[in-house]
Amino acid sequence: MVRTSSASAGIQESSEEKKRVIGYIYPHFPVELVLAHGLVPSLISTNPETQGAFENSLQTFACGYVRNLFSRRVRGELSSLSGLVFPSNTCDSLQNAGDIWRYRFPEDVVFKVTYPVSDYGKASVKFLAEELKILSDRIEREFGVPFSNESFKAAVEMINGFRESLQMIYSARVIMPSIITYHQLMELTRQFLTEPTRESLDEINRHIAGSLGPLSTDIINDFRELKQMMQRMRVEREFDVERDHPRIAMVGGMTDPQLISQVLHELGEGERFSLVIDLLSFGFKCVFSPQIQFDSDPFVEMAKNILSTPKEPTQEGLTNRLIFLRETLVNLKIEGLIILEQSFCDPDEFEAPSLERVAKEESIPVVRLPIDPELSDQERVKLRLQSFLENLLELV
């Protein structure tokens, strides 16, 4: 495949000294597979600075995420990538995006992984394992780098380390949000998603040691118990939580948590109110994947792992997601809920009324926030959040 050589254009081959970077979009993409080929995986998130360069390829009713992705490509922001992996069988916007991309940017190296929507047990694992094997073979053919079992093992150990540490700090701050602000937590999560290296893992661990070191064993045990429950997407009992400020939760799909954490930070998160938990794809759901095992074939293990991660709005399982939300609201003493809906995102927009209903049934104030990645109406978003928070502060 010919790749563009113009720095202002698209995805291109990195220089020899630098490792090739493979972009990915789906929150539960197995980054360890890319690492096992000696390549670097990097989440392609939205860029609020990049606007309106998608019009040649997409109608305006493509979701905000996909629009931003095309705009970023047209503006040359993805030129450091050597390839991009599109998910298939997730949502209708992304389903088309990969195909349109191939026609629009034929010089780019584009891969596809098809994920099962249904959980048919072994049949789903087998299907996904085969899809991952196909991807691995294609990566090898494209870049001449084989899948290495040693690199896979090292990658899994590192990823498992990330998840273990981030899950701990996530759970800890649900109970005790003063440990670290949501904004700081998102910085750490972002490092894991965009550059999973030993150095960034060490940094996270330093944070944890600093924050949790002085706490009593009882408190740490509570954190651990909550962590185990949240891995199963359950919160089966009440926890004794810190209530210095009103406790807010946030739920939604692929809205970039960093983007919204910035807005919340500006509105006084950590000082006037605490965003104690998000249930977003690129936040909680990426972090709370279980540990990857080495019990059998690596592709089977990766497939099993992906299929046991917290389910996305693009998958089956609405009833379980609603149970989890209700338990989170009640047992973690949440006092306000923010529902984020990416513009023109069917999965978000279909689930929002059900999520809202749960909050209302539990008499918890709720705000629904349609949002686009460019935050083109940033002021409106900020104002709505502000007035929601003001009302909440008065109530609590």
Partner 1 sequence: MSEKKEKAYRLLEANNLLNQIMFRYMLEGHSASEEGRLAWLTSGFPVEIPLAMSLGVVYPEQYGAVVGSQKMGPQVCAFAENIGYSPELCSYARSSIGSVLKPEESPLEGLPKPQALLAGNNICGTVMKWYDAVSQLTGAPVFLLDTPPIDDVQGDHHKEYVKAGLERLITFISDHFDVELQDDRLREVADNSTRAIALWTEILQSCKAKPSPLNCADRFLAMAPVVSQRGTEYILEYYETLLKEVRERVSNGLGAIMDEKVRLLWDNIPPWFNIFRFFNSLAKRGVVFPADTYTHAWSGSFDSPDILNAIVSLYSNVYLNKGIDAKIDKMCELIMDYDLDGFVLFSVRSCKRYSLGQMVSKEIVMERTGVPGVIIEGDMVDSRLFNEAQVQTRIDALLEMIV
Instruction: Give the Å distances, CA to CA, from 111 to 24, 68, 155.
Output: 9, 19, 21
Judged by beta carbon distances under 5 to 8 A according to partner kind, the member of ligand SF4, partner 1, none in contact with residue 254 is ligand SF4
Residues 80-109 vs partner 1: string with x where CB under 8 A? --------xxxxxx-xxx-xx--xx-----
- The nearest distance, CB 349 to ligand SF4, in angstroms, is 9
In this structure, is the dihedral angle defined by the CA atoms of residues 225, 227, 230 and 235, taken in order, positive or negative? positive
Q: Which position among 124, 136, 211, 328 is part of the footprint of partner 1 (CB under 8 A)?
A: 124
130 binds partner 1 (CB under 8 A): yes
The CA–CA distances, whole Å, from 202 to 196, 213, 220, 334 equal: 11, 15, 20, 32
Q: List the one residue out of 268, 306, 293, 376 whose CA is nearest residue 51.
A: 376
**The only residue of 4, 79, 80, 114 in contact with partner 1, by rule CB under 8 A:** 114
Q: Which parts of 300-319 interact with partner 1 (CB under 8 A)? A: 313-314, 316, 318
Burial of 98 (0-12, 13-18, 19+ CB in 10 A): middle
User: What does 69 bind: partner 1, ligand SF4, none (CB cut-off 5 to 8 Å by kind)?
Assistant: none
The answer to whether 126 contacts partner 1 (rule: CB under 8 A) is: yes
Of the two residues 89 and 148, which places its CB atom closer to partner 1 in the complex? 89
Residue 182, CA atoms < 13 Å, CB-side half-sphere: 32
Q: Does 323 bind partner 1 (CB under 8 A)?
A: no
Residue 352 near which of partner 1, ligand SF4, none (CB within 5-8 Å, type-dependent): partner 1
Report d(CA 395, CA 66) in Å as an integer.
38
Find the helix packing angle between 182-194 and 257-266, rounded to 10°.
Answer: 160
Nearest approach in angstroms of CB 109 to partner 1 is 16
Shortest separation between residue 259's beta carbon and ligand SF4, angstroms: 13
The distance of closest approach from Cβ of residue 51 to partner 1 in the complex, given in angstroms and rounded to an integer, is 19
77 binds, among partner 1, ligand SF4, none (CB under 5 to 8 A by kind): none
The distance of closest approach from Cβ of residue 358 to partner 1 in the complex, given in angstroms and rounded to an integer, is 11
Minimum distance from residue 203 beta carbon to partner 1 (Å): 38
CB atoms closer than 10 angstroms to residue 258: 18
Q: Measured from the CB of residue 372, what is the shortest distance to ligand SF4 in angstroms?
A: 10
Q: Percent helix, strand and coil across the chain, each rounded to 5?
A: 50, 10, 40
Helix, strand, or coil here: 115?
coil
Please count the residues of this chain forming the interface with partner 1, following the rule CB under 8 A: 51
For partner 1, which is the closer residue by CB, 113 or 166? 113
In angstroms, what is the minimal distance from the CB of 8 to partner 1?
Answer: 22
Q: With binding defined as CB under 8 A, does residue 195 bind partner 1?
A: no
Of the candidates 147, 111, 116, the residue with the CA atom closest to the CA atom of residue 129:
116
Rounded to a whole number of angstroms, the minimum distance from the CB of residue 320 to partner 1 is 12
* Site for partner 1 contains 120 (CB under 8 A): yes
Nearer to partner 1 among residue 155 and residue 300 (C-beta): 300
Order of strands, sheet of 247-251, starting from the edge strand that comes earlier in the sequence = 274-279, 247-251, 336-342, 366-371
How far is the C-alpha of 183 from the C-alpha of 256, rounded, in Å?
12
Complete DSSP assignment for 41-56: EEE----TT--S--TT
Binding site for ligand SF4 (CB under 6 A): 63, 65-66, 91, 93-94, 253-254, 314, 342, 345-348
DSSP conformation letters of 188-232: HHHHHHH---HHHHHHHHHHHHHHHTTS-HHHHHHHHHHHHHHHT
Residue 342: which of ligand SF4, partner 1, none does it interact with, CB under 5 to 8 A by kind?
Answer: ligand SF4
Q: What is the three-class DSSP state of 19?
A: coil
> Does 228 contact partner 1 by CB under 8 A?
no
> 46-85: which residues touch partner 1 (CB under 8 A)?
56-59, 61-63
Tell me the C-alpha distance between 133 and 244, whole Å: 50
Q: Does 131 bind partner 1 (CB under 8 A)?
A: yes
Which of 160, 168, 166, 222 has its CA nearest to residue 189? 166
User: Taking a C-beta distance cutoff of 8 angstroms, is the pair 108, 2 a contact?
Assistant: no
- Using CB under 8 A, list all residues that contact partner 1: 56-59, 61-63, 88-93, 95-97, 99-100, 103-104, 112, 114-118, 120, 123-124, 126-127, 130-131, 313-314, 316, 318, 341, 343-344, 346-347, 349-354, 356, 368, 370
